[in-house]
Amino acid sequence: MARKTKTPYKTKWNLNLLYTGLNNPRIERDVRTIEREYDNFAKIYRNKDFTKTPKNLAKALASKEKISQGLSKIDPEFYFSRLLDIESQNEKARALLTKIDERLTEASNKLEFFHLRIANIPKEKHGKYLKASELKPYKYLLENIFRTAKYNLSEKEEQLVSLLGQTSYSMWVDSQEKLLSKQMIKFGKGMIPISKAMSIISELPKAKRIALHKEIIQTLESINHLAEAEINAIVNFKKVMDKRRGFKKPYSATILSYENDEKEVEALVSMITKKFSISHRFYKLHAKLIGEKRITLPDRGAPIGKIKRKFDFANTVEIVRSALGDVDGSYSDILDRYLKNGQIDVYPYKGKQSGGYCAKSGDLPTFILLNHTDDLRSVETLGHEIGHAIHGELAKTQPHRYRGFSTSTAEVASTFFEQVTQSKIEEKLNNEEKIIFLHNKIMGDIATIFRQIALFNFEDELHERIRKEGQLSGIQVAKLLAKHLRSYLGASVEVTDRDGYGFIPWSHIRYFFYVYSYAYGQIVSKALFEMWNENKNTAKKIERFLKAGRSMSPKNIFKSIGINVSDPKFFEFGLKNIEKDIDKLEKLTRKMKFKIA
């Protein structure tokens, strides 16, 4: 068991790095600064023909980038969003965020003309502008603007979409999250937050696991009335927007914004769906290893044995720090800085959002949210989220216009560092624990690849049905999710229709079709990890990928380091590696006559 140590760092966010409190007068000053800068830019360029020549456009783009860079260290909305993620009941903060959102949306709407004017450059002139020497620094930026041009609305319509996004999407999602965060679940003789209940359920003994799952589902069913209204509202909002813009399929807008090729993503989804038999095979083995012929949904993540050591946060930090250092010492320095500054919120508590994420904005400090419960998965989660953070820090070497990154490349960075963390954990395990760890690793791959594609398929059918039928009841949505859970879990796992109420806390389906990027990222990161594991000198290629930011398409970024994601066989090879791991697990458990601990 890991030795408990006193942590020499902060375990709660220090949001004073952004503002010292809700009443900080700098918040209002910063909002006014943004409003003023946007207003001044609009006054200068609205009536200028800045797209007349490549030279004029280059000058305008440089001016716009200068403003963005100047404002990169202020973002009141970022502060309020982080605060509400750890204080969901803070009504004053929620009200202030609503007001600030309205003002900043109005301010940013004044710049809507700028990209629309660039997008309206006649198609026959695109080649000339893309080849112009003055515009060479902006080539990929322009390619993206031209690629998305046909889906643009008029300036007034784009402004209206921005304004409606708050009332017709954000407020619905916020209300659902707020209600969810209030829920307390009966556990033993006490009550725990629902976020903690969901995070610990897989580690419990069978009877307690089943009982806790029942409590969670009952609680979710009791708040279904809001989730039903919310999911119908936001899906119908998307339907209206997609129809107006001309997107033919519910997922087209997401794939375009993630800078992937739609046909390639469709091929990926189709290929993984056809290979759900791999997932079925794993869960059949999983059931056998926990001594069952058929298991229930809460058994899906049940341990086949105990890795008895606990990973308190101090121990977790040491493991992840060491893993990062194996790739590059500067990466562990980033983790240390975040811990020292209070940029990681560690433990679950009432009012805090469940799950884990990494949030960044411009040149402001990045914040990582965890719900650490001293288990092995918590170690992997820190490795995953710090991977996002490292990606963001290294992307800052790019000019301001390319400092972001596509979601699909973001998931590659995070899952790569999660795998490096896993390899470091494995070093500490004995032979029996390594079998358990291999099982859990495969389980993670199944969840990240097959489950997420099942969810993609669920979303697709959900959107198509609501578009056709107008709306679905909560139980209809639950039944639909249950159907798609069965599709990847197979006959060895019993899934009830009520289990489908798991759609309520599943935040990622509110970020429409985000989930495919997990499968995409996991398979690419596996190739990246194997490349690094075989030759540690390829760390320089990994650094090049992390520093690329948004300067190229994901496809070209990976191509530049020797990974061809355009080849369908590449993804199929990734799935074959999972099958090899299942083969290995079967042989090891037979050889050792493995029994549940």
Classify residue 186: in a domain, yes or no: no
Classify residue 99: in a domain, yes or no: yes
Q: Report, as an integer, the average pLDDT of 151-171.
A: 86
CB within 8 Å of 569: residues ≥ 6 apart: none
Average confidence score pLDDT of the chain? 92
Classify residue 510: in a domain, yes or no: no
Q: Say yes or no to pLDDT of 2 above 90.
A: no
Please give the biggest Cα pair distance in the chain. 78
Contact 466, 235 (CB under 8 A): yes
Classify residue 457: in a domain, yes or no: no
Tokens in use for 203? 């580690």
**Residue matched to tokens 């008895």:** 308
Classify residue 413: in a domain, yes or no: yes
CA distances from 58 to 45, 120, 125, 294, 502 (A): 13, 16, 15, 64, 49
CB atoms within 10 A of CB 95: 12
Q: Say yes or no to pLDDT of 540 above 60.
A: yes
Span 47-57, pLDDT tens digits: 999 999 999 99
Last residue of a domain, one of 127, 155, 173: 173
Classify residue 223: in a domain, yes or no: no
Q: Say yes or no to pLDDT of 274 above 80.
A: yes
Query: Binning pLDDT at 50, 70 and 90, where does residue 3 land?
Result: very low
Tokens in use for 476? 């209809």
- In the chain, the number of structural domains is 2
pLDDT of residue 1: 34
3-class secondary-structure state, position 357: strand
pLDDT of residue 4: 44
The partner residues of 345 in beta bridges, in order of sequence, read 369
pLDDT of residue 509: 87
Query: Binning pLDDT at 50, 70 and 90, where does residue 334 land?
Result: very high
Q: Report, as an integer, the average pLDDT of 279-301.
A: 94
Between CA 391 and CA 398, with CA 394 as vertex, the angle to 5 degrees is 115
pLDDT of residue 5: 43
CA distances from 11 to 233, 314, 357, 425 (A): 37, 10, 15, 22
373-408 in b/e form (b: 16+ CB < 10 A) is bbbbbbbbbbbbbbbbbbbbbbbeebebbbbbbbbb
Q: Say yes or no to pLDDT of 435 above 70.
A: yes
Last residue of a domain, one of 173, 190, 211: 173
User: β-strand 190-193 against 344-345: which pairing, if any?
Assistant: unpaired
d(CA 49, CA 47): 7
Share of the chain above pLDDT 90, in %: 78
Q: Say yes or no to pLDDT of 225 above 50.
A: yes
Q: Say yes or no to pLDDT of 7 above 70.
A: no
Classify residue 423: in a domain, yes or no: yes
Q: Report, as an integer, the average pLDDT of 560-566.
A: 91
> What CATH code is carried by the domain that includes residue 30?
1.20.140.70
Q: Taking the CA atoms of the chain, what radius of gyration do you get in angstroms?
A: 24
Span 499-520, pLDDT tens digits: 999 999 988 889 899 999 999 9
Last residue of a domain, one of 117, 147, 173: 173
Span 103-160, pLDDT tens digits: 999 999 999 999 999 999 999 999 999 999 999 999 999 999 999 999 999 989 888 8
Q: Say yes or no to pLDDT of 597 above 70.
A: no
Crossing angle between the packed helical segments 539-547 and 407-426, to the nearest 10 degrees: 150
Classify residue 316: in a domain, yes or no: yes
Q: Report, as an integer, the average pLDDT of 443-461.
A: 96
Q: Say yes or no to pLDDT of 319 above 80.
A: yes
Domain of 372, in residue numbers = 312-428+535-549
Q: Report, as an integer, the average pLDDT of 408-424.
A: 94
